[in-house]
Amino acid sequence: MKTNFKILLLLVLLTTSAFMLGFKPDLRTRLKTETSKTLVDESITVYTSAITGANDVQVLFFRTGPEAGQGEITITYSVRFNEGNSQTYTKVMASGETESTDHIQGPNPTAFAEVTGYSWTY
């Protein structure tokens, strides 16, 4: 009786171990969740450049890094004029685009403009 119990216990243990060692997550599901994320190794830089005329401000956008320019990106940025109020703008850069220029209009006259913050989404 004790021998039968030991054999039965050993079979249960071996069966459980076999299931644990043989279990593998579904590769298709794991691959889908990994590829559905947008992970791009790039840096985004936004800054103001020349002010022309009374209030035309040039804003420069750069995407740098090993994977720069992969996928469309929407950049939301804020510009402060004359050390006063800030205004928020949106820029869409297409896939493959690594640098771009925008012209925005500040208050008349604009003596000073700076980017105070920016964020992006893919």
Domain 43-121 top-level CATH class: mainly beta
H or E element at residue 102: strand 99-105
In a structure prediction context, what are the per-residue pLDDT tens digits for the chain, which is 122 residues long? 677 777 777 777 777 766 555 555 544 444 444 444 456 788 999 999 999 999 999 999 999 998 888 889 999 999 999 988 899 999 999 999 999 999 999 998 999 999 999 999 98
- Residue 18 tokens, joined: 């076999």
Q: What is the pLDDT of residues 5-26, one digit of tens each?
A: 777 777 777 777 665 555 555 4
Measured CA angle at 91 (ends 87, 96), to 5 deg? 160
